[in-house]
A and B are shown apart, each in its own frame.
Chain A
Amino acid sequence: MMSDLTKFTLAEARDAVASKKISSLELTRAHIDAIEKARGLNAFVLETPDKALDMAKASDARIASGTAGPLEGLPLGIKDLYATEGVHMQACSHILDGFRPPYESTVTSQLWRDGAVMLGKLNMDEFAMGSSNETSYYGPVASPWLPPGWDETKGRAALKGDKKGLLVPGGSSGGSSSAVAAHLCLAATATDTGGSIRQPAAFTGTVGIKPTYGRCSRWGVAAFASSLDQAGPIARTVRDSAIMLRSMAGYDAKDSTSVNAPVPDYEKAVGASIKGKKIGIPKEYRIDGMPAEIEALWQQGIEWLRAAGAEIVDISLPHTKTALPAYYIVAPAEASSNLARYDGVRYGLRVPGKDISSMYENTRAEGFGREVRRRIMIGTYVLSAGYYDAYYVRAQKIRTLIKRDFELAYQDGIDAILTPATPSAAFGIGEKGSSDPVEMYLNDVFTVTVNMAGLPGLAVPGGLSASGLPLGLQLIGRPFEEETLFSVAEVIEQAAGRISLPQAWW
């Protein structure tokens, strides 16, 4: 019976705990048990069961005394990019070995303020650089979805080995998406710099929202590319993601790009009518070589929204094609600057050298994985003397053009834009990017524009591929109009039917 408690949505669990049908302690224990049994997936890099049980008992006491918060007693997973006071935080990198932050990130502190329970830290691509969770120092994460044609025995054998052939959960928030899809936590925190919330959500049949830049505080979240990074949730339903975002969002004086605007009760937008809403369909997202089933999914999404009374409008975002290459200048440039702090002096790993310079060089060579080293070097190059204008300044100008495309569409009255979330369903561990890094980068072709323009973007399951794997649709909104995305996404979720997540085989 205990394990059934993990099948609740966040909203159902909230209501059951608030009405004392179940205790937070029972709910938390059920999730701790589920995590223990799912270690093969490698979704968690640190389990904190003692802390979780203490927090759950405190939640039950607050419920008894009538002082419960909006997330009271609900067990969550936290991406390892978030600082958690006194608890392991390494951005899944070797270079932060042993780091225990003496402070708590603003976003997680708001979750605890609202009563949530921490189950542990979730795996991710190293410093959030990756689209498959294969760059983690702690090894790859497996998706709970079995590859087409695999049975449970074959899946379990692969989990015990090198995981090759099992499906990736997407990245960089692959621990978050895998854990949520496998019912190891009710919801999880994630982050998105180029698609790292939406692509993993699409690959695992979960819902993820990257809010508008400035909506959530970045304080205490290890920086990758500061002008693109945003925090957001991954959850199993649109409603659950709305509940999570309300607690995560809000102004924070400690983040100078945080926006001082009231946080709406996003849950109220779930179920609101979308009659008369103008939904833009950008022709530039119909890319060469896009699988027919992605095109069909997109058409299906259009039909669902039309049936719900939305007006479908063809639009053009002419600079779409430039977004991914421009991103691979801007993001590495900012990363090379942000990651300069990892020098073996103040925290983490130190590898000795003959002098201080070689100590820096040895520490960074050993502490950073291949993908991170590669991006730091590209960033260093595009910022170096003689190349700064040709690469970095040009990319920032192109960013202005990308944003202008969206602004013109919104000026014409478009309320939200519908696109596919990813160009394909999930692929296998070890399948992509080993010889050409660009092959992996193409995963973010539909999501990266949204970060470049600072807009909110949401991925919601739209159905299954011919081989039975989840496919996601993406909704892009006006700045700070996340509510519209929740309303439209709920229509898609209702029409598509909630995706049936895999039963435990692991």
Chain B
Amino acid sequence: MSVDQATVRRIAHLARIAVRDEEVPHLQEELNAILSFVEELSAVDVSGVEPMTSVIPMSLPLRKDEVSGHAGADVVTRNAPGAEDHFFTVPKVVE
């Protein structure tokens, strides 16, 4: 399988990565190089094989549903590029 330029733009949008028009042909080439590299997998017989979910056989542990290790809002917002009164600030999303 290979991707066309419209698909490259769609993937970039899904991944929330801005791409300039002049970048698209090059990206298309690189993505297709990778896709052609993984193409040989379609020849592997996987009938009756379970997909791996856990590489080490173990069941997922459950913890009590309670607040733990609460750092506090000061600490949580300290690294934010925009924060006010313990809230993260973002461009306006509601008109």
Contacts and interface: CB of A to CB of B under 8 A. Distances in A.
B6 interface: no
Residue of A103, A379, A397, A399 most packed against chain B (CB within 10 A)? A397
Interface in B21-79: 27, 30-31, 33-35, 37-42, 44, 46, 49-56, 58, 60-61, 63, 71, 75-76, 78-79
Residue of B34, B39, B71, B91 most packed against chain A (CB within 10 A)? B34
Nearest to B91: A356
A364 to B, nearest CB: 5
Contact of B33 (A390, A398, A437): A437
Interface stretch (A44-52, A57-65, A344-352): A344-352
Contact of B40 (A325, A343, A347): A325
Contacts of B44: 319, 322, 394, 398, 401
B46 A397 contact: yes
Q: Does more than half of chain A's interface fall in helix, strand or loop, or is it mixed?
A: helix
A284 interface: no
B30 A437 contact: yes
A384 interface: yes
Report the contact-size class of chain A (Cβ under 8 Å from the partner). Answer: 35 or more
Nearest to A366: B18
Given A364-B17, A438-B37, A378 B81 contact: no
Contacts of A321: 40
Contacts of B1: 387, 390
A336 B79 contact: no
Given A328-B37, A397-B46, A453 B55 contact: yes
A217 B90 CA distance: 33
Interface string A242-272: 0000000000010011010000000000000
Nearest to B19: A365
B37 A364 contact: no
B93 A397 contact: no
Contacts of A347: 79-81
A407 to B, nearest CB: 11
Contacts of A9: none
A98 B88 CA distance: 17
Interface stretch (A152-160, A368-376, A469-477): A368-376
Contacts of A353: 91
Given A381-B3, A398-B46, A214 B14 contact: no
A357 B41 contact: no
Given A253-B63, A322-B44, A381-B3, A344 B81 contact: yes
Interface of A: 98-100, 102-103, 212-214, 227, 253, 256-257, 259, 319, 321-322, 325-326, 328-329, 336, 340, 343-350, 352-353, 355-362, 364-365, 368, 373-374, 376-381, 384, 387, 390-391, 393-401, 403, 436-438, 441, 452-454, 479
Given A398-B41, A399-B52, 11 more contacts: A102-B75, A102-B76, A253-B63, A325-B39, A356-B91, A359-B90, A373-B15, A377-B11, A394-B44, A396-B53, A454-B55
